[in-house]
Structure 1
Amino acid sequence: MSETPTELELQISVQSSSQPEPDTQFHSPEPQDQQNQLQQDPQSLESNHQHQAKSVLKNHQRLLLLLLGFSLCAAIVGVVYYLHQNLQNRRNNPADTETPCVSLACQRASARLSMSADPFKQPCDYFLFTCGSDRLSADSGGRQRGKGIPGHPQNQNTDEVWPEREEGDKVREDRGLREDKTLDRKNTLLQYLKDILESNDTHGGTAVQKAKGFYRSCLDTKSIETAGVEPFLALIQRLGGWAVSGQWDQTDFNITLSLLMRNYSTFPFFNLYVGKDPNETSHGTAKRYIQIDQPDLLIPIEWNSKTQKSQAKTQTLRPFLASCQRYLALLGAPRSSIMIHVGTFISLSSEIAVAAAPLHYRLSKGQLHHRMTIKQLQSQAPAIDWLGCLQAAFHPLPLTEDDHVLLHNLPYIVHMSRIIIKWMNRLELSTSPLHTYMFLNLLHTLMPALDSRFSETARNLSVSLGNTDGVTPRWKHCVLDTERGFDVVLTDQISQRTAHKEAEEIIQNIFSSFKSKLHELSWTDQETHQLVMKRVHSLKPRLWTTKEELEEAELDLLYSEVMVTTNSFFSNYIQLLSIWQKRRTKLLSQQTEAPDILSVTPLLLGDELLFPMGMFVPPLFDPTYPRAMNYGVIGFLMAKDILHVLLPDISSQGEMVHAVAECVWAHYLTVAENAGGGGVFSLSAVQQQEVWVQYSALQIALQAYHHSLMNHPKDTSISGLSLIRLFLTSFSQLKCDSDPYRESMPLEPSFLITVFCATSDLCPTSLQCPNKTQKHSLQTC
């Protein structure tokens, strides 16, 4: 063991203290000396005795000091040795005697760790598999029809990406509900909301109790099955009926459309949402506009790149026809007239769908964010009473024909108007094809509140169209529906349960470590480097909370008009749609961005980097956890998110990205080759960037944790694990299927522990593969 400067100083001190003293030893006098002494005068003799006594005392003092010096040096050496051994034990002993965390959250975390594979006991077999498309299929890039209906025709996997939405209602409507393909973070948050809604806590006000009542009525499938189709048929009659049931008041087309938009959030012929104009956003303008987009069509369509038009999928027309027949039969339509109504519905749907186009085509044609006044829109698409419909959808805002709107496919809107006029003038108007079209769209809006026969029909169609997604649990649908209506209530509940101080602390530490990481990068373009650094240093990271916390009385007043019925989910769901309409109206007038309760990743908004409260929920984060666990899990996820948000194209600028990724990959290939793994391939630029991002995120999180320990040296532990081992073991719980960039990650992220510990003396033990020899020495990444 090499000597430290302190130990060397101690040795020098000991050596100098143990040198022989000069010849001042006390000797017994000889006889002759005694005689001479007797002959001396008494005064001189007395002086001699005093001198000798002083000399003896002085020698005793020196001996005592020498013994004290030896004792002090031995004590100091002992303390140094103890501290050194304690540090070595902290690094090498996997079962260090740390202060245990005994909170309920830690007990649960300990149970989870005990049931998980230990990366330090199975260092190679545990990590040796990849995250790829052969094991996990990609998420759908398209939108689901707003109401979260499983099996809807437009919920199929597609490569299409739609214009970015900034508004709350449409974002919430478009969230996916796939059980196995939702992020673990999202599943964790939904489970947390479920626990809140199912808690027996009665301290909340009436708004909280209404939210819980709505959730319980959603779970009450027995009452929903008993009600059957009657609530929907009663609603159709209140809207004037339709020819399918044999009772139709021949209500005006635009009147029916306005009612569907205002009271039931149903948009059969076009979509409405609220958002900013990106051309103005770059100049700091926060104004929001009504955005008009092509609709989510019920009929399955495909894009024909040759004709550059959409068309119905021939192979899916038969199952789609069967599903429409089933719906009308469930709604009590006479068997003799079902085919007539289904035929006209499919014909009308096919004609309207022709002008619908995917995003890439509309981008190439400059069809997004096309600005015009409502008056101008009316002249181009006269079939729709635009001012009347928009006033209904955004009641009570005082819209005028001079207000501007943004179009995302004007050719479709013009085409749709022509088709509607054409069908209005047809002789078979008595069959009400336009109303059938609108009411079948309304049916899909209300399907979550209807009995299982409808959802089963939709699911069968989805399977026939090739969708292999599993069935989403009922509770998850109910949590999402409750959040859509009572988001303010649940945001308040999460805010009360969030450890704001601890969350803010980890946010600041992670962001500080991220900025330190930036200084290590070597950039190919210094101008880009300076712009990035300027941007990063201008950002203010913070927890994303509401600007003003609502008091209980204010929440109760906000939901005072909502009447929740315990055994009638259909009527509760109708009120939910009304809440959506009010939220949409509020979005158009407000300037601030309200927190998105279901968000689990940071949002860059102006000069703020916002971290939603949904990130800081158990079991991913808990204020009673050891900080090693919090930084190993949520700290890593935050660092990875920051790198993705702020450095999306770092692979083209940072030379170190390539070097680090190839180094990590070399470690992986060595283990894979020794394990008999095949299929070795080189990394693409996207894969290199993702490997670098996740490896850097692990380093950032650990650096942030060390910074936390400097400010607060004490930390607890779980299962007797040393702090660094707990940090890395917690990180290993994040599997690759919880990562939105998993398709770009060529290896299991937890393998990064093996690379990290290969040459680092921070790890509690060296991760070596049993019975597998290294072919060559690997460098530190």
Structure 2
Amino acid sequence: MGTLWSQERPPEEEQPTEQSRWWAPARQLLTAVLLLGLLLGSSVILFYIFRSCGPRPCEMPACRDLLEYYRASGNTSAPRCTDFFSFACAEAKGANSSFQALAEENKSRLQRILEAPRSWPLGSGEEKAFQFYHSCLDTDAIEAAGAGPLRQVIEELGGWPISSNWTSLDFNRTLRLLMSQYDHFPFFRAYLGPHPTPPHMPIIQFLVWTLSFLALCPQPIPFLGLLLLLLTLSILFPEAILHGTGPMSPHLSSPSSTHPLLSSLSCVQIDQPEFDVPLKQNQEQKIYAQIVRTYLTYLNQLGTLLGGDPSQVEQHAFLSISTTSRLFQFLRPLEQQQAQEKLFQMVTINQLQEMAPAIDWLSCLQATFTQMSLSPSQTIVVHDLDYLKNMSQLVEEQLSSHSNFLQSHMIFGLVGTLSPALNSPFREARKLLNQKLQELTGRPRVPAYTREMKCVEETGAFFEPTLAVLFVHEAFSPSTQSAAMDLFTDIKDALVTRLRKLPWMDEETQKKAQDRVTQLQVEMGAPGWAMTSVLTSHKYSEVHLGPNFLQSFLSGVRSRQARIIQSFLEPFPHHRWQVSPWGVKAYYSASDHVVVFPAGLLQPPFFHPAYPRAVNFGAAGSIMARELLHIFDQLLLPGNCPGCDTHALEREQQCLESHYAAFPLHGGTSFSGFHSLLESAADVGALAIALQAYNKRLLWHRGETTLPNLDLNPQQLFFRSYAQVMCRELSTQDSQDTQSPPTLRVHGPLSNTLAFAKHFHCPDGALLKPSRRCQLW
């Protein structure tokens, strides 16, 4: 029964119903539709994902402006694999370089700031800056005053035999006034600077030296503060107390570098003068004579403009240029000083007085550095004692035989420096002099600035702290600074990674080099103290404008001089910027171990937060990497890296020299002795580091953009942006420039980078795809 029962089926289960017959195919159709929909949906999602990850055209206004800039400066028909310089720079006209164009744009921005109608608090630095700028533009008032204000200055200095009454000459009184009131040094330079201590001094020696030096320099440091300083040093650098290792290790110190603490110990320094005439050692005699004649003509013009008798003026002008020529013969080139190991000497003012008695050293220096209390036993730094001895002897000879000519020599020099503040005849004479000297020396022609640009320069020089705040607020927003710092961090990380893989650097040196990069300070935009309006508001209390523009100009000179001196006298001063915030020069300071990037440099076409990353890394990133590599310049010099593989290092250096020598230069000449290995090595290494940082950024952060309608993918745009940094007209290469010619600064690094040939599909044997490459950095 059970078995039979289990074998029976209900009637409805034995035959399929009509509902079951149509449900099966319907279910199959529905499954197919769902699968198709899922597939289509996934495809759409993947399409948008890959589209968002791939390069998109940047439609921001900054990108459109950059696109026009690139189109205007480059020649797209030039062969990329043999003449990338022409491809990027051939049509760059009207400016010597991209940097020059950016510098002019920054000055134009400053001009717009100074000409914008604003209301400032009475007596504030902003009000005085704006008043000074507009008084500089008031050429009608300057022309109406004529030479009267200048004659008044000359009378205050004791008069001038050829244009005013004078009775007797007090040489040191005139020199003292020139140094203290006019910031003019006709026979030598006196300034405050960091003490030039030996770079490899062990800390224990440094402490002993510090204790003795504090007794000499007029910078009192409380005993408790000094005790804390010594305690801090012993905690931070215990291994350096007895052995001289640590951050001052000779492996990585440069001859000019000192420990940051040393930079706060500043003393009076006496150095060679900066001559107004561009004479040079070993100059061709014919060029030398032409320069002397040109400058003599200029001095004759100055004397005549001041009402002097032409024959008397000619005699005084001739003896003035003769004095300059003799002083120039006393100079010793820096290379000779280094060979003789006499870069500087420590002497007291009393000792200097005995060796160079013509100058009343104590009174002249005390008048110049009024914030200090000097004494005859004060120790100062002298950079060329032989020059000072010879200079003193010449002055004594002139005082005994031609004292009135010596007065003329000092007045001639002062009038030249005051030219920007004088009426048009003096300015035109100076302009003509500069043009002729540029032609004779082969220096690049300086663009003819308008009166507005000249006034912007002078206002910026005298009111830099105030204008720094206004410029940064206008051109370097917090978001821009943040983006620039992110870029710098990527570049620095890439350098640290690269240091670990250098075949010629031993492990210990690699570790110290990485620590050196990690300890580096970076300053961007403007000095931190300058951005505090409370600190800058009192800096111009002693600036008095009027009654004429020359007096306003001189008040600005004195205020600037006092501000610079005061900054050196601070017990632990901040890093003193060597460029203005609107400047376009980045630099590395060995003494403070800080790298500086002014706001004026981190601007289009080198940097903008809205730019494709390829542009920022290729342009600004390579600039940053280049300055970082200057930390290690000394490692490339013979004997400065004892733990390194000397043969490997020399092999890579020779490789780089041969690599550059193979390139033809403008006019069919070949590259020769003016090539600087350090500069070229920095160019090549900077490109490699910037590319490595860019590739890493792309790996972890998708969504790259490119410039529309430029026919360059992101990697190609990176190299195009790098080349833009090097753009310069070939005819403007300065004969004194230590950099490689502009074509080499483009082709040398690009040809040493395999990725360039890959992304531009260069054939084997092309100029920018050589068979061998070098890896110095």
> TM-score over 0.5 for the alignment?
yes
- C-alpha contact (below 8 Å) 2:76/2:87 kept by paired residues: no
Q: Distance in 2 between matches of 1:394 and 1:280?
A: 26
Match of 1:268 in 2: 186
What's the Cα RMSD here? 4.7
- Counterpart residue type for residue 325 of structure 1: N
Using the TM superposition, give the Cα deviation of residue 477 of structure 1 relative to its aligned residue in structure 2, in angstroms: 4.3
Among 545, 561, 567, which residue is 1:587 paired with?
A: 567
- C-alpha contact (below 8 Å) 1:301/1:311 kept by paired residues: no
- C-alpha contact (below 8 Å) 1:394/1:581 kept by paired residues: no
Q: Give CA deviations for 1:611-661 in whole Å, capped at 9, x if unaligned.
A: 333321233222333333222221122223323443465597548956985
Using the TM superposition, give the Cα deviation of residue 523 of structure 1 relative to its aligned residue in structure 2, in angstroms: 1.1
Q: For residues 150-299 of structure 1, what are the structure 2 equivalents within 5 Å?
A: 184-185=98-99, 187-199=101-113, 200-203=115-118, 205=120, 206-219=124-137, 223-279=141-197, 282-283=258-259, 284-286=261-263, 287-297=265-275
Using the TM superposition, give the Cα deviation of residue 443 of structure 1 relative to its aligned residue in structure 2, in angstroms: 1.2
Q: For residues 371-386 of structure 1, what are the structure 2 equivalents within 5 Å?
A: 371-386=346-361
TM-score (norm 1): 0.72
Relative to structure 1, is the Cα distance of residues 106 and 395 closer, same or farther in structure 2, using a 3 angstrom cutoff?
same
- Counterpart residue type for residue 594 of structure 1: R
Using the TM superposition, give the Cα deviation of residue 392 of structure 1 relative to its aligned residue in structure 2, in angstroms: 1.0
Among 741, 744, 747, which residue is 1:747 paired with?
A: 744
Among 433, 449, 455, which residue is 2:421 paired with?
A: 449
- C-alpha contact (below 8 Å) 1:447/1:455 kept by paired residues: yes
Relative to structure 1, is the Cα distance of residues 124 and 226 closer, same or farther in structure 2, using a 3 angstrom cutoff?
farther
Relative to structure 1, is the Cα distance of residues 180 and 369 closer, same or farther in structure 2, using a 3 angstrom cutoff?
farther
Among 610, 614, 632, which residue is 2:618 paired with?
A: 632
Q: Which has the larger radius of gyration?
A: 1
Q: Secondary structure at the match of 1:614?
A: coil
Match of 2:528 in 1: 547
Using the TM superposition, give the Cα deviation of residue 70 of structure 1 relative to its aligned residue in structure 2, in angstroms: 4.9
- C-alpha contact (below 8 Å) 1:294/1:409 kept by paired residues: yes
- C-alpha contact (below 8 Å) 1:383/1:420 kept by paired residues: yes
Match of 2:608 in 1: 622
Q: For residues 24-35 of structure 1, what are the structure 2 equivalents within 5 Å?
A: none
Q: For residues 555-566 of structure 1, what are the structure 2 equivalents within 5 Å?
A: 555-564=536-545
How many pairs align?
670
Using the TM superposition, give the Cα deviation of residue 59 of structure 1 relative to its aligned residue in structure 2, in angstroms: 6.8
Q: Give CA deviations for 1:197-243 in whole Å, capped at 9, x if unaligned.
A: 33343457442343344344445555545544332112112333122
- C-alpha contact (below 8 Å) 1:539/1:609 kept by paired residues: yes
Q: Distance in 1 between matches of 2:345 and 2:84?
A: 50
Q: Secondary structure at the match of 1:646?
A: helix
Q: For residues 317-396 of structure 1, what are the structure 2 equivalents within 5 Å?
A: 317-396=292-371
Using the TM superposition, give the Cα deviation of residue 331 of structure 1 relative to its aligned residue in structure 2, in angstroms: 1.5
- C-alpha contact (below 8 Å) 1:123/1:754 kept by paired residues: no
- Counterpart residue type for residue 592 of structure 1: H
Q: For residues 725-740 of structure 1, what are the structure 2 equivalents within 5 Å?
A: 725-737=716-728
- Counterpart residue type for residue 377 of structure 1: L
Q: Distance in 2 between matches of 1:439 and 1:548?
A: 37
Q: Give CA deviations for 1:538-576 in whole Å, capped at 9, x if unaligned.
A: 3344536433354445534322332445x9542332122
Q: Distance in 1 between matches of 2:588 and 2:562?
A: 25
Q: Distance in 1 between matches of 2:482 and 2:755?
A: 36
Using the TM superposition, give the Cα deviation of residue 380 of structure 1 relative to its aligned residue in structure 2, in angstroms: 2.1
Using the TM superposition, give the Cα deviation of residue 275 of structure 1 relative to its aligned residue in structure 2, in angstroms: 1.2
- C-alpha contact (below 8 Å) 2:588/2:627 kept by paired residues: no
TM-score (norm 2): 0.73
Using the TM superposition, give the Cα deviation of residue 371 of structure 1 relative to its aligned residue in structure 2, in angstroms: 1.0
Match of 1:511 in 2: 492
- Counterpart residue type for residue 248 of structure 1: W
Match of 2:708 in 1: 719
Using the TM superposition, give the Cα deviation of residue 758 of structure 1 relative to its aligned residue in structure 2, in angstroms: 6.7
Among 410, 419, 427, which residue is 1:438 paired with?
A: 410
Relative to structure 1, is the Cα distance of residues 644 and 354 closer, same or farther in structure 2, using a 3 angstrom cutoff?
closer
Relative to structure 1, is the Cα distance of residues 188 and 219 closer, same or farther in structure 2, using a 3 angstrom cutoff?
farther
Using the TM superposition, give the Cα deviation of residue 276 of structure 1 relative to its aligned residue in structure 2, in angstroms: 1.4
Among 600, 603, 623, which residue is 2:585 paired with?
A: 600
- Counterpart residue type for residue 640 of structure 1: R
Q: Distance in 2 between matches of 1:468 and 1:775?
A: 30
Among 361, 372, 389, which residue is 1:414 paired with?
A: 389
Using the TM superposition, give the Cα deviation of residue 478 of structure 1 relative to its aligned residue in structure 2, in angstroms: 3.8
Among 683, 692, 695, which residue is 1:703 paired with?
A: 692
- C-alpha contact (below 8 Å) 2:606/2:616 kept by paired residues: yes
- Counterpart residue type for residue 105 of structure 2: Q
- Counterpart residue type for residue 628 of structure 1: A
Identity %: 25
Match of 2:253 in 1: none
Q: For residues 79-98 of structure 1, what are the structure 2 equivalents within 5 Å?
A: 82=47, 90=54, 98=56
- Counterpart residue type for residue 513 of structure 1: A
Match of 1:175 in 2: none
Relative to structure 1, is the Cα distance of residues 746 and 213 closer, same or farther in structure 2, using a 3 angstrom cutoff?
same
Using the TM superposition, give the Cα deviation of residue 481 of structure 1 relative to its aligned residue in structure 2, in angstroms: 2.6
Q: Secondary structure at the match of 2:553?
A: helix
Q: Secondary structure at the match of 1:356?
A: coil
- Counterpart residue type for residue 111 of structure 1: E
Using the TM superposition, give the Cα deviation of residue 589 of structure 1 relative to its aligned residue in structure 2, in angstroms: 0.4
1:49 aligns with 2:18: no
Q: Secondary structure at the match of 2:628?
A: helix
- Counterpart residue type for residue 442 of structure 1: L
Relative to structure 1, is the Cα distance of residues 191 and 776 closer, same or farther in structure 2, using a 3 angstrom cutoff?
closer
Q: Secondary structure at the match of 1:268?
A: coil
Using the TM superposition, give the Cα deviation of residue 446 of structure 1 relative to its aligned residue in structure 2, in angstroms: 0.8
- Counterpart residue type for residue 419 of structure 2: M
Q: Distance in 2 between matches of 1:180 and 1:677?
A: 19
- Counterpart residue type for residue 492 of structure 1: V
Among 462, 475, 497, which residue is 1:485 paired with?
A: 462
Unaligned runs of 5+ in 1: 1-39, 91-95, 137-178
Single out whichever of 433-442 and 465-474 deviates more from structure 2: 465-474
Q: Distance in 1 between matches of 2:502 and 2:49?
A: 34
- Counterpart residue type for residue 406 of structure 2: L
Among 608, 628, 638, which residue is 1:642 paired with?
A: 628
Using the TM superposition, give the Cα deviation of residue 393 of structure 1 relative to its aligned residue in structure 2, in angstroms: 0.7
- C-alpha contact (below 8 Å) 2:625/2:689 kept by paired residues: yes
Unaligned runs of 5+ in 2: 200-257, 638-645
Q: Give CA deviations for 1:120-163 in whole Å, capped at 9, x if unaligned.
A: 985246526799xxxx9xxxxxxxxxxxxxxxxxxxxxxxxxxx
Q: Distance in 1 between matches of 2:467 and 2:368?
A: 25
Relative to structure 1, is the Cα distance of residues 41 and 528 closer, same or farther in structure 2, using a 3 angstrom cutoff?
closer
- Counterpart residue type for residue 109 of structure 1: L
Using the TM superposition, give the Cα deviation of residue 410 of structure 1 relative to its aligned residue in structure 2, in angstroms: 1.2
Q: Secondary structure at the match of 1:561?
A: coil
Relative to structure 1, is the Cα distance of residues 507 and 81 closer, same or farther in structure 2, using a 3 angstrom cutoff?
closer
- Counterpart residue type for residue 9 of structure 2: L
1:571 aligns with 2:551: yes
